[in-house]
Structure 1
Amino acid sequence: MILLQINQVARLFGAEVLFENMQLEIQSQSRIGLVGRNGAGKSTLLKIIAGIESPDKGTLTKTKNLSIGYLAQNSGLNSDTTVWNEMLDAFTAVRQMESRLRELETLISTQEIDSPEGQRVLKEYDQLQHTFVEQNGYSYENEIRSILHGFQFDATFYQQKVQDLSGGQRTRLALAKMLLQKPELLILDEPTNHLDIQTLAWLENYLQNYQGALLIVSHDRYFLDKVVTEIYEIARHKMMHYKGNYSRYLTLKEEQLALDWKAFEKQQGQINKLEDFVARNLARASTTKRAQSRRKQLEKMERMERPQGAEKSANILFKIDKPSGNVVLQLEDGEIGYDKHVLAKNITLDIRRKDAIALVGPNGIGKSTLLKSILKEIPLLKGTLHYGTNVSLGYYDQGQQKLQPQKTILKELWDEHPTTPEVEIRSVLGSFLFSGEDVEKTIGLLSGGEKARVALAKLAMNHENFLILDEPTNHLDIDSKEVLENALIDFEGTILFVSHDRYFINRIATKVIELSPEKSTLYLGDYDYYMEKKQEEAELLALLEQDQVKEKSVSAGKQSFQQTKEQQKIIRQLQRKIGQLEENLEQIEEEVSQLELQMTQPDNLNNHFALIELQTTIDEKTIQQETLYEEWEKASLELEQLDS
């Protein structure tokens, strides 16, 4: 079923065209990725589709009462209530139904069933009960817990005020609430911002099973490959449609360009022949009529436009003045953090020339802190750091804090390289798409993508042999990411980088280092290899736990053998308790499902006393479930503390 269509939509800014003749169709199960350069109008088009802005030309039609959820870039929740209450707000209608059902149950117990009022109450209860079951009324709290867990919010966050959380956390909460609301059309503008790799993987899986339609703008190519099944591209003010995920779109786009060139060249050949015939034969009496016929044919011909390839891209090149030695950097027994607050410890690095190492781990683990500790901007809490011979460091800061807001783009580079001729500075900036008067723009007025290109231009001018990059693809559109990737692949030096862009990691990384609170772990491959090894580790761990042969690490220190033995005993008791609680929770969940199924049976639907009895039993089971869940959380926390 078609949910929404836009036809010949245009957005104008005076005489300037942002886009025009936009055609887009959204079906009930569509999975659409909208791609294009920064500034092409993707976010503007989303706002038009969401009804926030109106088109200057064209029409938008949608089904009656279509529910649309729209999440803008970096739009976090602003609320003075708690996280839990804010999530409950997504189920206001369901909770109102729940309250009304309790009222009706009380009325049924006091009314004469055969009376007109009794029959009215029973009918209302019957209809409301059916709707309540359809809208997951018996399990919405479990659904909230599941979604919050997916976004890395555990029970300790539930009673925190939303306004006290960080901007990134509020952005994740806004997305969590929208998923709980389940609109028929979910419109997401850069939903992967502020998400670590683990959360990204969870979100991909969730969206793959989403019941409504999806329209997504994202620069995360790995995410697009996993989630979308069709691509709309905005380029040169126009829109093109491709079936398939992002990788398939790239293939189809290349194939279409080749076909367009073939058709164009064929038509040009026909035109040349016709024009040549007209030129040679128009003046001859014997062939004038045929020449005139050819000329009319030329006049009527609908001429194809010359196919246009890729739009102009940055031309990034990282050179080195002098190669480093084979050993670039070594760190032994590293410990990082702030004011004796340890973020991660037991960190080992052994970086060799031409390594390209991706540093991964959850948000807040200290990846950026480790980079700054390597740069000696933040002191190590512990450990020995050693640089190799002839190592020169280049650093890309994801926040571009080193850029001077009051300077022009030209001055930003020229002040650091005052002996370099202006023409050479302008040439470098031109390769990063800053030309003419663009170089006189003030840094503070630039977009995120423009600031990123300035920072990369500065990095390219320094010719260092060891690049340390903190989220280098943030703010870059897909084309710019691909250019950066190619430049780094061709780079003759060494790279250590932090990125949540898994597509980028796959193309660049020769090794992956995972950072955790307790240690660093090295994986000799790209992101896909790293994930395969993590899966193998998880399967092995599950097998060891199943066979009860998992070896517990014994902490070094002053613990006596008896203390360690007693701790092992407590751990085994907790493991058995957790296992039993999980079995009990599964059993109650199955019992509730069976009771809900019974409520839908014809015999019970017509027996309202039976429905009330079943509902009472479900309420009791739900209370038991919540109690068991609290016990499970407490036992799990105790076990985690003992294991650490």
Structure 2
Amino acid sequence: MKMILLQTQSVARYFGADVLFENIQLEIQDNARIALVGRNGAGKSTLLKIIAGIEEPDAGRLSKGKTVTIGYLAQHSGLDSDKSIWDEMLTVFEPIIQMEAKMRHLEEQLGEPSLLENADAYQKVLDSYDQLQHDFNEANGFGYEAEIRSVLHGFNFFEADYSKKITQLSGGQKTRLALAKLLLEKKDLLILDEPTNHLDIATLSWLENYLQTYQGALLIVSHDRYFLDKVSREVYEISRQKMTHYKGNYTNYLTQKAANLEREWKEFEKQQVEISKLEDFVSRNLARASTTKRAQSRRKQLNKMERMDRPLGDEKSARFRFQPEKESGNVVLSLENGAIGYQETIISSPIQLDIRKTDAIALVGPNGIGKSTLLKSLVDELPLIQGTKHLGANVTLGYYDQEQANLSSGKTVLAELWDEHPTTPEKDIRSILGSFLFTGEDVEKVVSTLSGGEKARLALAKLSMEQDNFLVLDEPTNHLDIDSKEVLENALIDFPGTILFVSHDRYFINRIATTVVELSTTGSKLYLGDYDYYLEKKAEEEELRLLAEEEALKKQPLQEQVTDSGTKEHYQIGKEEQKLIRQLTRRIETLENEMATLEATIETLETQLTLPEVYGDHLEVQEINQQLGQLKEQHETIINEWEEQSLALEDLGN
């Protein structure tokens, strides 16, 4: 039976006389997977803060279960701590660590001779130890360190990073750590505002898989449609200050929304036809004595009718267009044996590129591998460490910088474009800005006061006016809401020139790319297909790699485990005692063999947990941790029996 964790009832947020949103009804059940979507500025982040209890609503109320725990990740938050990465993650498991310390203390007590002499006291301590051991096992006491390693590995933190102070990390790393800690805390409800920021594609895939098996409920705001499709099972949309609920993932939401709009139009048009007929009948028949009563009846029917509002459809969208002034030659850009990096330190080499007219090439790879560096080297903002670059005939290159360094912070939006194109009439500049959603007084805003999404649209507007035939784009979808992303995608699909781009938006890559180039420390690798094709090929490569490792392991000699068991010689003991000694000795040997087998198995499993292909898969880590817990519990039981049998044998020998 589903349990409701939290509800909002008629929640509203006002800014003076302006309404951001109102009458918000939202229900979160345990294990819910909710995507909250809407345009930039619709109030998504504000609503998340209200639900997380950080802000109070201006109207309405929020109710949640008394024991419900909430974890919240803000859009631009990062972990703030003086501790090392490992020590900070350990704070999540402080109760388990204290439990473990208490167990060690009880173990010491159980070994004290004075306690052994007092059977009642010994039993009392033993009972406490047994209960504590059970609680420790239930709390994953044997596996929490492996769990930390698994999550840190998922966010690209490795053994060598664990001792680093968090104060030394970058903003993106701190954000990833904040999310890692939240996942380890296992709250009943996890509220995530743009959790995919600062994540490369491999980390995004890991996070999707992790969240699909997360035990609590999820409420997520994200502009990553691929991510929303994988994680969400229901969608709440904020549009025009109201909330609408849809069942299913993001793709289902789009389908349902389109179907609802089509149905609303049909119902509206049907009612308009009916109204028109009634009004026509009334106007023609009201004055005639023979039909007056029928006309009056129709007029009453009209007055009582609940008239439908005209369906509004989607909110106003931007209109992006990129049209080159001239065509390039067939060869657009080539790079042979390229190497990139900083101060002669190579981070990727050798890089080969052969870009032809109308190619749409996605450049992918982990964070820090130099994708942006390569783009800057190709547009001459940074030097190549080595390699030969050649730009083709008639190629005009336009560059979109994710840091938007080409925008002048002190200028107005209008001046930003007009100063570079002074011969273009003002009305044409305003018209272009209007197509990028800068209308009316928006064009008088100073660039420094713009939001991230507004700056992105302004930079794209500048790029569109250059009319280049080769677009080099570094994270062009950053800061854009989903609607603007879709408009940009359609503009680039219609663009008759050539595109080389970096993006972490897999949905965007899949729509735009005809070729994928993967960048790594060993250089570039070409995949002649879209993003789905690239994923298939990567999966095949990984499968072949694992098979090769498995074959190599099979060829390694097995280590033999040898356990020596020594027994005391006993003399002048009666036959019954000798028989009992033999039985005890055989049982001790059996227990020692069982212990040796268990220890070997535990050691093997613990070794597996240190392998990247294992601790990178949180499902396998959970499975191994469960096995380890059971095996260590068995081991503890055998040790207890071994101690009892050994004491009994020792008593007989004395």
Instruction: Report TM bin, short chain.
Output: 0.7 to 0.9
Amino acid at match of 1:314: A
How do residues 216-365 of structure 1 correspond to structure 2 at under 5 angstroms? 216-365=220-369
Partner of 1:2: 4
Structure 1 pair 387–544 and aligned structure 2 pair: CA distance change class (3 A): same
- Displacement of 1:600 in angstroms is 7.8
Take 1:540 and 1:35, find their aligned partners in 2: how far apart are those partners? 40
User: 1:47-106 deviations in whole A, cap 9, x for unaligned?
Assistant: 111011111111211112101000001211111110001101111222223233334455
Match of 1:585 among 593, 604, 618: 604
Letter in 2 for 1:7: Q
Contact 2:322 2:495 in 1 (8 A): yes
Distance change in 2, residues 1:491/1:593 (3 Å): closer
1:141 to 139, 145, 157: 145
How far off its partner does 1:241 sit? Answer: 1.1
Deviation at 1:296, TM superposition (A): 2.7
CA distance in 2, matches of 1:96, 1:74: 33
Structure 2 unaligned blocks of 5 or more: 561-599, 609-622, 644-654
**Other-structure match for 1:504:** 508
Is structure 2 residue 234 aligned with structure 1 residue 215?
A: no
Quick one: structure 1 residues 302 and 120, their matched pair in 2 at CA, closer, same or farther if it must change by over 3 Å?
farther
| Aligned partner of 1:15 among 14, 17, 22 | 17
Secondary structure class of the residue paired with 1:240: strand
Find 1:409's aligned residue among 413, 424, 431: 413
> 1:542 maps to which residue?
546
Distance 1:611 1:43, change over 3 A: farther
Aligned partner of 1:438 in structure 2 is 442
The answer for the alignment partner of 1:625 in structure 2 is none
Q: TM-score, normalised by structure 2?
A: 0.84
TM-score by length of 1: 0.86
* Rg larger for: 2
The aligned amino acid for 1:426 is: R
Deviations, residues 110-143 of structure 1 (Å, cap 9, x unaligned): 389875x878766655554443322212211110
User: After superposition, what is the alpha-carbon deviation per residue over 1:170-212, rounded to whole angstroms, capped at 9, x for unaligned?
Assistant: 1100000000001010110000000001111111110011111
1:51 corresponds to 2:49: no
- Residue 435 of structure 1 deviates from its aligned partner by 1.0
SS of match in other structure, 2:175: helix
Residue 518 (structure 1) shift: 1.1
Change (3 A) 1:293 1:132: farther
3-state SS of paired residue (2:20): strand
Aligned residues: 585
Pair 1:163-2:185 in alignment: no
Q: Give the equivalent residue in structure 1 for 2:585.
A: none
Change beyond 3 A, Cα 1:113–1:343: same
- Residue aligning to 1:102: 104
Check whether the contact 1:599–1:611 (CA below 8 A) recurs between aligned residues: no
The SS at the match of 2:153 is helix
| AA at the equivalent of 1:585 | T
Q: Rate the CA distance shift 1:593–1:368 in 2: closer, same or farther, 3 A.
A: closer
Tell me by how many angstroms 1:242 deviates: 1.1
CA distance in 2, matches of 1:547, 1:269: 74
Select which of 83, 86, 108 maps to 1:84.
Answer: 86
Distance 1:76 1:582 in 2: 40
Q: Which amino acid aligns with 2:605?
A: E
- What's the counterpart of residue 461 of structure 2? 457
SS of the equivalent of 2:507 reads helix
For the residue of structure 2 that corresponds to 1:380, the secondary structure is coil
SS in 1 for 2:204: helix
Does the Cα contact within 8 Å between 2:602 and 2:631 map onto a contact in 1?
A: no
| Partner SS, residue 202 of structure 1 | helix
Q: Which runs of 5+ in 1 are unaligned?
A: 551-571, 617-644
Separation of aligned partners in 2, 1:345 and 1:7: 57
- The offset of 1:243, in angstroms, is 1.1
After TM superposition, what 4+ stretches of structure 1 lie above 6 angstroms from structure 2?
111-114, 117-120, 572-577, 587-592, 598-601
Identity of aligned residues (%): 66
Residues 52 and 124 (structure 1), Cα distance of their counterparts in 2 relative to 1, 3 Å cut: farther
Q: How does 1:35-46 map to 2 (within 5 A)?
A: 35-46=37-48
SS at match of 2:539: helix
Taking the aligned partners of 1:4 and 1:24, their CA distance within structure 2 comes to 8
* Equivalent in the alignment of 2:210: 206
Judge conservation of contact 2:48–2:191 (CA < 8 Å) in 1.
yes
Q: Does the 8 Å contact 1:3/1:62 carry over to 2?
A: yes
CA contact (8 A) 1:324 1:391 kept: yes
Aligned to 2:582: none
Q: Which residue in 1 is equivalent to 2:570? A: none
Amino acid across the alignment from 1:63: G
Residues 1:423 and 2:424 are matched in the alignment: no
Q: Aligned residue for 2:67?
A: 65
Letter of the structure 2 residue corresponding to residue 36 of structure 1: G
CA RMSD of superposed structures (Å): 2.9
Q: State the partner residue of 1:495.
A: 499
Q: Is this contact kept in 1: 2:602–2:628, CA < 8 A?
A: no
Shift of 1:471: 0.2
Deviation at 1:324, TM superposition (A): 0.4
Worse overlay, 443-452 or 584-593: 584-593
